[in-house]
A and B are shown apart, each in its own frame.
Chain A
Amino acid sequence: MSTRELGCEEVIERLFDYLDRELDAQQAEDIERHLARCRDCFSRTEFERRLRAMVEASGTVKAPPRLHRRIRHLLDQFDSDETDALP
């Protein structure tokens, strides 16, 4: 595989593809090589990575006790349904 030297503009253009893991291994490696030597692009990448981590964390919220009770009740129903289904 051949490596390619990328310019800042190209790196920034593909930054979210990189963070979203949409690039193939070679393309990701080309970006990483640029980030290792370009402070500005590295700073931008770290900023977006940190913000992205906050967005990802928003998908974890303590489930309320009412939902736990509801699911427990559902699982109990599964048990009784299975027992009813026995020959």
Chain B
Amino acid sequence: MILASSPTTAPARQPCPPRRGDSGAAMQERGSVHRRQWFGARLEPLMDRLYGTALRLTRHPDDAEDIVAEAVGQAWRRLDTLRDPQRFEAWLFQILTNAFISEWRRRRSHPQEGAEGPDTEALAAEQFTLFQQLHQPFLLWWGSLEEQFFNSVLQEELQAALDALPDPFRLVIVLVEVQGYTYEEVSRLLGIPLGTVRSRLSRARGLLQKSLWRQARDAGVGSGHQGEGGHSP
């Protein structure tokens, strides 16, 4: 869609992005066309994931669009630094993540947006697991509360529950579960100790599962099953 007016030449015979100034002006001109084709062809299939990831990170559609545009611009300007074209996707997402984190840090420097410490609810939620609320070992899977839960929870509700997490918790869960970064990478990206990554992740999961449990109960999951109300921590 983004390249509706662009050639869609498959870059199969062009394993590397053409570099500026390969040799002579004519080559350079051809190179720029190839570079644009190469770049665009790889960018297009990633657009929904770029936007979705940016939306989970920023929580706001306008901010998400800004971050994607910023990342695409930076990626184009730094294309010569991409040594392994097979890593284009990971490289681009890294640029997107860094663009977000820079902006997030800048905004956090404002005192009104600096709330960071783990609150009581987060500490309490750390021990919460949805599975314990739903699991009934003697029921068949398809009649179980677990299955009822997965049938009831909508992707939009899950997104809203993620977006509602306090920033420090939301960021680690998005970086680990949505983007697939290792704990070590998250520690480096956010500049926090590894132990903090682990504790925030654990609290984020607890808070998220608690929120989904509330939604599921509101949707009637568990009504009619004995004892489900007695599990709430």
Q: Which residues of A contact B (CB under 8 A)?
A: 16, 20-22, 39-40, 43-44, 47-48, 50-52, 54-68, 70-72, 74-75, 78-79, 82-83, 85-87
Q: Which residues of A contact B2 (CB under 8 A)?
A: 68, 71-72, 75
Q: Contact between B65 and A20 (Cβ–Cβ < 8 Å)?
A: no
Q: Which residues of B contact A (CB under 8 A)?
A: 1-6, 20, 25, 28-29, 32-33, 35-36, 39-40, 43, 47-53, 55-56, 61, 65, 68-69, 72-73, 76, 130-131, 134-135, 137, 146, 150, 153, 155, 158-159, 162, 173-174, 176-180, 182-183, 201-202, 205, 208-209, 212
Q: Contact between B150 and A20 (Cβ–Cβ < 8 Å)?
A: no
* Most chain A CB within a 10 A radius of its CB, from B5, B6, B32: B32
Q: Contact between A79 and B4 (Cβ–Cβ < 8 Å)?
A: no
Neighbour of B177 across the interface among A50, A56, A75, A87, CB < 8 A: A56
Taking A43-B135, A44-B131, A58-B162 as contacts, is the C-beta distance between A71 and B52 under 8 angstroms?
A: no
Give Cα A66–Cα B62 distance, bound, in whole angstroms. Answer: 10
Q: Contact between A61 and B52 (Cβ–Cβ < 8 Å)?
A: yes
Q: Which residues of A contact B47 (CB under 8 A)?
A: 63, 67-68, 71
13 pairs of residues in contact across A and B, judged by CB atoms under 8 Å: A16-B202, A22-B183, A47-B131, A54-B153, A57-B155, A64-B51, A68-B1, A71-B2, A71-B47, A75-B2, A75-B39, A78-B36, A86-B25
Q: Which residues of A contact B159 (CB under 8 A)?
A: 58
Q: Contact between A75 and B131 (Cβ–Cβ < 8 Å)?
A: no
Main secondary structure of the interface of A (DSSP, over half): helix
Taking A71-B43, A72-B4 as contacts, is the C-beta distance between A61 and B48 under 8 angstroms?
A: yes
Q: Which residues of A contact B182 (CB under 8 A)?
A: 20-22
Give Cα A51–Cα B158 distance, bound, in whole angstroms. Answer: 10
Give Cα A75–Cα B182 distance, bound, in whole angstroms. Answer: 32
Q: Which residues of B contact A43 (CB under 8 A)?
A: 131, 135, 137, 146
Give Cα A44–Cα B129 distance, bound, in whole angstroms. Answer: 10
4 tightest A-B contacts by CB?
A: A61-B52, A59-B178, A82-B32, A63-B51
CB-nearest residue of chain B to A87:
B25
Q: Which residues of B contact A48 (CB under 8 A)?
A: 131
Q: Contact between B183 and A20 (Cβ–Cβ < 8 Å)?
A: yes
Q: Which residues of A contact B179 (CB under 8 A)?
A: 59
Q: How far is the CB of A65 from chain B (nearest CB, A)?
A: 8
Q: Contact between A59 and B49 (Cβ–Cβ < 8 Å)?
A: yes
Neighbour of A50 across the interface among B65, B150, B162, CB < 8 A: B150
Q: Contact between A83 and B29 (Cβ–Cβ < 8 Å)?
A: yes
Give Cα A57–Cα B157 distance, bound, in whole angstroms. Answer: 13
Q: Contact between A55 and B173 (Cβ–Cβ < 8 Å)?
A: yes
Given A59-B52, A61-B48, A82-B36, 4 other A-B contacts at CB below 8 A? Answer: A50-B150, A57-B155, A72-B5, A74-B72
Q: How far is the CB of A86 from chain B (nearest CB, A)?
A: 6
